[in-house]
Amino acid sequence: MVREYVDHTGAVAVYAEDDEGRVLVIQQYRHPVQLRDWELPAGLLDHEGEDHLTAAKRELAEEADVEADEWQHLVRYNTSSGGSTEFIEVFRASGVRPAESAFEREAEEADIVIRWVPRAEIVAGILEGRLHNSALIVATLAVEAADRR
Position 20 in a domain: yes
Q: How far apart are CA 69 and CA 80, in angstroms?
A: 32
pLDDT tens figures, 105-145: 666 666 789 999 999 999 999 999 999 999 999 999 999 99
Are the CB atoms for 85 and 7 separated by under 8 Å?
yes
50, 62, 109, 144: which one is catalytic? 109
The three-state (H, E, C) secondary structure of 104-133, written as one string: CCCHHHCCCEEEEEEHHHHHHHHHCCCCCC
The closest alpha carbon to 83, from 8, 139, 10, belongs to 8
Position 2 in a domain: no
Are the CB atoms for 19 and 54 separated by under 8 Å?
no
β-sheet with 35-39: strand ranges across: 35-39, 22-30, 113-118
pLDDT per residue rounded down to tens, the chain (149 residues)? 888 877 767 889 999 999 999 999 999 877 777 788 899 999 988 878 889 999 999 999 989 999 999 999 999 998 887 787 788 999 999 999 998 877 676 666 667 899 999 999 999 999 999 999 999 999 999 999 999 88
Are the CB atoms for 30 and 107 separated by under 8 Å?
no
pLDDT at 79: 84
pLDDT at 16: 98
Position 21 in a domain: yes
Position 3 in a domain: no
Position 48 in a domain: yes
Are the CB atoms for 63 and 109 separated by under 8 Å?
yes
Looking up residue 71, the CATH number of its domain turns out to be 3.90.79.10
Count how many domains the chain has.
1
Position 34 in a domain: yes
Q: Is 100 an annotated catalytic residue?
A: no
